[in-house]
Structure 1
C-alpha cells in the first residue's frame, strides 16, 4: 500500500482528492492537514465522508506528514508550496503540487504574472509538468510533479496535436473558456457568492489570467517556437466543469480528414481523452465527476479556421484526478487505478 498525505485537505480540490484516494485500492490515506479545521474529524467537516474515514485533520506540520507518507499531495495557494515541497523531497518522498508554484520553468515569468518570488531554482529544475498525455515518460521517474492548471489542461489537450504536427498558423490562437464556480476555490469571495453568480455570466481577467503563460509555455515547447495566445476565461453559474473553445487558422495544406486522423492517432492510446465523432460536441455534464477530456473538431472552410471544443471536470482532470493519474504513473500502477468513473449525466 502507498501511504499518502494531503496538505490543504479541506478546499474543493483537497476534498475531491480525498474522495478519490479513499476508493483507491493501492492507497492508505495517513494524513490530512487543514489550518481551518485542525483537530476536527474529516467526516464531521464533510459529512459526505461519513463511514468512509475516521481521519482527523491535523496542523500543517510537514515534517510529520513527510515521515508518515510516501507521496504528499499539496493543495495550497500559489506562493505557499515551495517550503512544503522542499521538506518532502529532502526526505526522499514524492511530492505532487496542485498549486502554481512549479508550473512555470522561468522564474522571471512567474514573478511577472504572480507578483511573488518563484521557488528556489534547484527545486524548479526538478519539477516535471504533470500532463500525462504529453510527459508520461518524464513523470515515471520524477520526484516532484507540477500538476497543471484546469484551464491549461483543457486548452493544451485541445491544441497539442495540431501544434505538434504544424497544421495551424501559430499566431492568432484564441482560447475562449468557461468554468464553474468551484474553480475560484472554497474561500469566501464576493465574486463567487450565489447572488453574484446566479442568473449571470461574465468574462474576467481578460488578457491577464495567470494561466496564460502556462498555456503558452507548453504550446511553445510543442511547436519549438514562441507562441502567444489570446485567452479569455468566463464564469458560468454551475458548480463544476470547463468548456474551452479554441480557434486557429489552418495552414493551406491542412484538411478536415487529415486533422481528424491526427487527433485520433495522437490520443488513440489515451485512457482519459476521447475524440468525439464528427458533429458531436462535448458538454460539461458528459465529463462531470470523471477524469475524462472530451474533444470535438470542426473545420470552418468558409473562414479556413479550425475550431476545437474540449470539456473537462475542473476539479478532477483539471486538478485532483490528474494528480492521482500522475501518482499512478510515478508508482508504476495502472494509470486509471481509482479513476474509472462514469459521468453522472444529470
Structure 2
C-alpha cells in the first residue's frame, strides 16, 4: 500500500500500485466484482460479505468544508467549450467584492489550466502545520491545482483513476482554505472518476449546485445532455446552463456574427427540452483568449464588451438562485 510522503504533494494515501483504472470504490455494491477489479490485490477483501466501511477521508473533509458557505461545480460533458475560462471569470467576478472570499479547486487532473488562466502558473503549493496552502491570486481569491505541483507546465500527468481520486480527496481535506464564501470546482469533460469522486467526497458537506457550459452546436449539446442526466442521477441541483461562444463580437465595430450555428436550437432549445434554466449566452470575444493567456481578469480589462456584460448578468442570476443577491 502506498503511503503519503510529506515531501511529495502529489502522493496519495493508501492506493495500491496495481489498482484498476475504473475502480468502483470500496463502498460500491460492485466492489471486487466488476471486470475492472480483475488483478487488483484488494479484490478478495472488497468482494467479501463484510459491510463496506465508510471512506476514512469523509470526516476530515466534512470538518474542512465546514468553513465553506457555497460549493459550486462547473461541468460540461464536452471539452473545449470554455468551462475553465468561465470558472476563472466566475472566480474573478465573485472576488471583485473585497468582502467575498473565493476559492477555485481545479480537479481536471490531466489538463489543469486554472493556474494559467489566473496568472499563477509559476507558483507552487506549500505545506504548513495547518495543511496545504492554496496559491493566492489576490487577498480574497485563491486556487489549488495539480498544475501548481508539477515540475514544469509541460509535465504530463499519467495517473490511473485511484491516484487521481486520492488527490481530489487531499484537495478537500488537506487544503487550508480558511473561511470561504464560494468554492468553485472546475471539472474535466465527461462523467467519470473525478466527477464521481467529488460527489462522493462532498456527500456529507453538500454541493449547492452545478453550472453547465455548452456551445451552440449539436455535438456539444449531446454531451451536455449526458451531464444533466449525471447530475440528476447523483442528486446534484442544476443551477442552469450557459451557452458559451454564442456568436462573435467584433472588437472594432461591436457587430455580432454566428460562428457556431445552433442547428438544433442551441442552448435555449436544450434548456427547454431538459427543463432547466438558460442562465445566459456569452458571445465569443477574441480578447477573452488574450486575457486567459496573460492570466488577467477579462471582466476588469474589457468591462464594455458584450461578453463581460453577459458574464456579469449570469453571475448575478447565479447569486439570485442561491439566495446570495
Shared fold by TM > 0.5? Answer: no
Q: Relative CO higher for 1 or 2, CA cutoff 8 Å, sep ≥ 6? A: 2
TM-score, normalisation: structure 1: 0.37
TM-score normalised by structure 2 residue count: 0.39
